[in-house]
Structure 1
Amino acid sequence: MNSSPSRPHPEHDAFLKRRVLPTLGLFVLIYGAALALDYHINTAVLTITLMVTLCLLKMPVAIALIGAALLGALHGGLTMNEAIATFNENLLTGAQVGMTYVMVGAFAVAIARSGLLDLLARRIASKLDWQEGATNQGVKWSLFLTLMVASVMSQNVVPVHIAFIPVLIPPLLGVMNRLKIDRRAVACILGCFISASYLLLPTGFGAIYLNEILLTNVNDIGQPLGLSVTAAVVPQAMFLPVMGLLVGAVVCIFVSYRQPREYQSVPATELATDAPRRRPNAGQLLATVLAIGAALVCQLLFDSLLVGALVGFMILGLSGVFRWQEQDDVFTEGMRMMAQIAVIITLASGFSGVLGATDEIGSLVAATAELLDGNMMLGAALMLVVGLFITIGFGDSFASVPILAPIYIPLALALGFSPMATVALLGASAALGDAGSPASTITLGATAGLNADGQHDHIRDSVIPMFLHANLGMLLFAWVAAVML
């Protein structure tokens, strides 16, 4: 029986003709006009704009990162061989981080095998009043509070970062559907509270960002210029910017996405992990708590999430939370859950490496400085906006601090900002765009959990809502902090 060649779906043709081709055509036209007029386009601006544009056109994030990096490198004066070599050389750092996320994913799946998360989902579902017309507002707010607490703890107490999302969220999607909760609100809650946790609390990931990266860079660059700050100053400086994140979360819950939203109902058993369902006994609960505690202690002692997750995983395996013979299955499930995120993190390192090799991030910030002419209020605003733009491209606030610090600290001191205001400007500028970047682990993690049934779009339902609610509030409050501190 002969089969006719498959043809593209009509919706595919329509989207291609209405959105993709016109947008790319306009991009090429503007770029060609700039070249014809001998107008220099900053490579960092071009590369990041192209990457974001490709993501908005539903291009896979991995392909958008590679394509934009290579085209930006060519524009910046590198040859194709130099661009590829630079991209490859910078993959190692991302691969190391990606491997950590794989191990953290395995640890998260091992915790899920204990039955704790299923028990939580059943407890929440049991409180629902399924009668027609019931509002179940108490259950809704309990669910929101649970997600807020889990987001904060994932950065500090149980340092699994976003690995808890693909494990905790899918069993709760059925409950969310019955409550008609807009998943964009859930994405914003996750993004805002995860970011707020590591930007304010100096333990776990917060210790890495606030003390090892932000404080170290401020003192290394600032001390020759007469600037020196202590560890106690950093959380105080970041307090107001973090309040902007929390205000963004409040706006998304009570204003932007408070209206009910309909989703197709899918049984929770089809959305949870592949693990066999079992009720946890007292011994398993104790072993799970012990594993979480040991993971936290090891992470603090050895400054390694990889070691902490490994120790926690082994404790759960030895305690019988899952069978010894199931270790390969648990690890493979965790690796599968985090594989996309690990790959994108790896590619994002190559992307940021290419941007750094073009040496035009410094010129972008220098051009911004020329516009300031000593105006502190305008200076704070432009520094924050430039930081937002750069971090959107990297998708990682941890990587943005070392790039911005050599330029931002002398500039802030030259404009007359206080030490605390300088810390707030640098810390917030690097953090802006982390929640809301197409390549950010936060947005990717939210999508991994909320799209378990295929009803949550990465760009429209995770990236854009997080960008608007997490970044705009923090930008405003960080600007106020820079002016007031």
Structure 2
Amino acid sequence: MNAVLVAVIVMLLLSLLRVNVVLSLVIGAVIGGLSGGLSITETIEAFNNGLGGGAQVALSYGLLGGFAVAISKTGITELLISGILKIVRKEGDSKNKALGKVVIFFFLLLMAIFSQNLIPIHIAFVPLLVPPILKILNLLEVDRRLIACIITFGLITPYIFLPYGFGAIYQDIVATQIGLSGLEIKTSDISKAMAIPALGMVVGLAIAFYVYRKPRKYNQVDIEEDKLQVKIDNKTVLFTIVSLIGAVVIQVATGSMIIGALCGILILYVTGALKWNEADLILSDGMRMMAFVGFVIISANGFSSVINATGDVETLVKSTLSILNGNVSLAVLLMLFIGLVVTMGIGSSFATIPIIAAIFVPLCLELGLSEMAIISLIGTAGALGDAGSPASDSTLGPTSGLNVDGQHNHIWDTCVPTFVFYNIPLIIFGWIAVMFVL
């Protein structure tokens, strides 16, 4: 059996059996490497060589986590939450509750979208905003699986469709890798080509709203009255906003999330918004909060390195397409599925594109697909699996905020719902775009 399939299946099965994701990635990588013909020494060496690729991202998330906690210590999040709570204050008023849900859903969706395109801080906003909102979600009996779907939608759809922030990075990778594979394209065409797959994500979100519309009870978290009436000094609010702007500006200017987060933290302390003697405790809390995400990202890079070392990605593509006898419809469907398998394993759409583009582009040209259809196929195949992958930061992010009280399981409450509601529509709408529209 193909080593890529073996590695991914083992990792997913272990994760579904509630084995720690990091252990699942390591075990899946080892078994996949051995089944691909690598010796145990070669497998371990390939895994170790890949670990360094995730270190920078892991450190970035650690510092962003520290920055998020530092922001929360200024009291600005309590002010925000108290404002939302006023809307749902009357427990017997169903209209207020409905309005409160709409406000929370829209707010989280907007923040998730902004985190990709306007203020590119990715999942760092989740531990900043979601834990305090859990108090209100419990009061409203909102199913947290819906919140996971909302956040994941906002983390994925903007970068595959909008050419700003992380979207600009993703589309640049798509254009560059397709060009290196023998087909020069315009980056401006990518948004057009990805419009229909993005519509599939919208449909998936709408279905999630319908499926998770019923109330779900969680253990209530008491909200103390004095904590709701937070009085924040105007200077503190001003310096907090300055630190956010500074972090974004520096991050964009330097291209480094690490430097951006460090700048934001320093502004908070230099301006006196937070005290210097609180720095160690706050940063430690933030890094601890994001540590699990960092370990998963590092492990996923090792997993990806082993998959590449086996050479079985190309074998998987060619062997599956060789039996199709020119059936374009089925070939497109299988290429989308292969993209799903690869991304589910390594947890990164950005890392999947270079793996699949070099193989898919020549095959697509041989099958007679148009330029726009090829762009849509590559872009969709890369995005597939970002939702639902246990190793993806698009699922790890929501879980990091929703599971602070231990009532939200990463696999069954985040990965499985987002897999169902986003990957299935992406495959359907991506296939329609390639076959009938583009």
> TM-score per shorter chain, which class?
over 0.9
1:242 aligns with 2:198: yes
For residues 305 and 223 of structure 2, what CA distance do their matches in structure 1 show?
42
Q: Deviations over 1:360-391 (max 9, x none)?
A: 11100112221333333222211111111111
* 8 Å contact kept, 2:197–2:433: yes
Decide which of 157, 173, 180 is 1:196's aligned counterpart.
157
1:58 aligns with 2:9: no
Give the letter aligned to residue 297 of structure 1: V
* 8 Å contact kept, 1:191–1:470: no
For residues 378 and 299 of structure 2, what CA distance do their matches in structure 1 show?
25
Give the structure 2 partner of residue 144 of structure 1: 105
For residues 169 and 260 of structure 2, what CA distance do their matches in structure 1 show?
15
Q: Secondary structure at the match of 2:116?
A: coil
Give the structure 2 partner of residue 207 of structure 1: 168
Distance 1:161 1:279, change over 3 A: farther
Offset at 1:134?
2.8
Q: CA RMSD in A?
A: 1.7
Q: Deviations over 1:238-262 (max 9, x none)?
A: 2211111111111101x21111111
For residues 406 and 235 of structure 1, what CA distance do their matches in structure 2 show?
21
Offset at 1:278?
5.9
Give the letter aligned to residue 219 of structure 2: Q
Offset at 1:301?
2.2
Give the share of equivalent positions with the same residue, in percent: 40
Give the letter aligned to residue 156 of structure 2: S
For residues 146 and 293 of structure 1, what CA distance do their matches in structure 2 show?
19
* 8 Å contact kept, 1:381–1:479: yes
Offset at 1:127?
1.1
For residues 223 and 52 of structure 2, what CA distance do their matches in structure 1 show?
38
Decide which of 242, 245, 250 is 1:290's aligned counterpart.
242
Decide which of 118, 132, 137 is 1:171's aligned counterpart.
132
Offset at 1:183?
0.7
| Mean Cα deviation higher: 450-459 or 337-346 | 450-459
Q: Deviations over 1:431-451 (max 9, x none)?
A: 111111011112111111111
Q: Deviations over 1:416-466 (max 9, x none)?
A: 112121111111101111111011112111111111111111111111000
For residues 222 and 89 of structure 2, what CA distance do their matches in structure 1 show?
18
Distance 1:114 1:419, change over 3 A: farther
1:185 aligns with 2:146: yes
Decide which of 288, 293, 298 is 1:336's aligned counterpart.
288
**Structure 1 spans left out of the alignment, 5+ residues:** 1-40
Give the structure 1 partner of residue 119 of structure 2: 158
Query: Equivalences for 1:214-363 in 2 at 5 Å?
Result: 214-222=174-182, 227-253=183-209, 255-267=210-222, 279-363=231-315
Aligned residues: 433
| Mean Cα deviation higher: 88-97 or 156-165 | 156-165
For residues 292 and 204 of structure 1, what CA distance do their matches in structure 2 show?
16
**Structure 2 spans left out of the alignment, 5+ residues:** none
Q: Deviations over 1:23-62 (max 9, x none)?
A: xxxxxxxxxxxxxxxxxx1111111001000001110001
Q: Secondary structure at the match of 2:413?
A: helix
Decide which of 44, 63, 71 is 2:4's aligned counterpart.
44
* 8 Å contact kept, 2:68–2:127: no
For residues 79 and 159 of structure 2, what CA distance do their matches in structure 1 show?
28
For residues 72 and 323 of structure 2, what CA distance do their matches in structure 1 show?
53
Q: Secondary structure at the match of 2:94?
A: coil
Q: Deviations over 1:215-249 (max 9, x none)?
A: 21111222xxxx21122111221221111111111
* 8 Å contact kept, 1:158–1:295: no
For residues 354 and 43 of structure 2, what CA distance do their matches in structure 1 show?
22
Give the letter aligned to residue 390 of structure 2: P
Give the letter aligned to residue 62 of structure 2: V
Q: Deviations over 1:70-114 (max 9, x none)?
A: 111111111111111111111001112111111221222222223
Decide which of 86, 91, 94 is 1:126's aligned counterpart.
86
Q: Deviations over 1:3-28 (max 9, x none)?
A: xxxxxxxxxxxxxxxxxxxxxxxxxx
| Mean Cα deviation higher: 470-479 or 297-306 | 297-306
Q: Which has the greater radius of gyration?
A: 1
Runs (4+) off by over 4 Å: none
State TM-score, norm by structure 2.
0.95
1:470 aligns with 2:422: yes
Offset at 1:298?
2.2
Distance 1:281 1:198, change over 3 A: farther
Query: Equivalences for 1:376-387 in 2 at 5 Å?
Result: 376-387=328-339
* 8 Å contact kept, 2:336–2:381: yes
Q: Secondary structure at the match of 1:169?
A: helix
* 8 Å contact kept, 1:152–1:197: yes
For residues 86 and 452 of structure 1, what CA distance do their matches in structure 2 show?
34
For residues 420 and 341 of structure 1, what CA distance do their matches in structure 2 show?
35
* 8 Å contact kept, 2:47–2:305: yes
Give the structure 1 partner of residue 392 of structure 2: 440
Q: Deviations over 1:252-310 (max 9, x none)?
A: 01x211111111102357xx9xxxx9643322222222222222222222222222222
Give the letter aligned to residue 148 of structure 2: A
* 8 Å contact kept, 1:392–1:433: yes
Give the structure 2 partner of residue 366 of structure 1: 318
